[in-house]
Amino acid sequence: MDSVYIPVKEMLANAPGFRSLYASRHVHFEEVYADILDRAYLPALRKEPDALASLLRELEAAMGGKVSVQGEEFFLDNQQGTLEFSLFAEGLRKLALLWMLIRNGSLAGGSVLFWDEPETNLNPKLYRLAIKVLLELQRNGVQVFLATHDYGILKEIDLQIANGDAVAFHSLCRREKDGEIECHTSSDYLGIHPNVIEEAFTDIYDRVIERSLGRTGG
């Protein structure tokens, strides 16, 4: 079974020379960073996956172009020309990575994707597309494990789930009596317990309402 781990830190802009450095020197980077670059460098399949073709077009529209590789450096090719990835917003580089992994077959039926905090540096306007891609991958046989602390990501999953989707929510918490970690699992968003993400969001919303009512009353 093939597996892909997308770490929190985006590596595509720092790719040139990294793999050779990692292979020959002791550097303070985990293996997952070298691994994700190895997968990103894989050339595209001869035949684009038909079932995910529409998703690839949506990702291209969001990125404003397509990704190319020259040597060990990634570029975005669009109407303005060829842009170095260091000039490219980090959140969009994450979508670009998804685009490459789909095109080169790393995210194919039977594979597993682990993505740690996809919301990091991702414009909230792109949450909807990111979750759409992940759910569609799931419908095409990719098992997805997603770790998030973001209400928008969590709620997008809830809003986009369709009948037949195999989705489970896992909430980890530490027991007060002995400090052990517990995992509570629910097939429904409303069943998540404890849901500290929603509790924090609700607290913010309540304080906004209180301040608004206070101004009105004053």
Give the pLDDT confidence of 158-183 residue by residue, as tens digits.
Answer: 999 999 999 999 999 998 889 899 99
The answer to whether the CB of 141 falls within 8 A of the CB of 110 is yes
The answer to whether the CB of 141 falls within 8 A of the CB of 109 is yes
Q: Is the pTM here over 0.85, yes or no?
A: yes
According to DSSP H, which parts of the chain are helical?
Answer: 18-24, 31-40, 53-63, 90-103, 127-139, 151-160, 196-217
Question: What pLDDT score was predicted for residue 79?
Answer: 83
Region 63-76: mean pLDDT is: 93
- The more confident residue out of 169 and 21 is 169
Candidate CATH numbers 3.90.350, 1.20.272, 3.40.50, 2.40.50; the one for domain 3-167? 3.40.50
The percentage of the chain sitting over the pLDDT mark of 90, rounded to a whole number, equals 74
Alpha-carbon distance of 90 to 108, in angstroms, equals 24
- pLDDT > 60? residue 63: yes
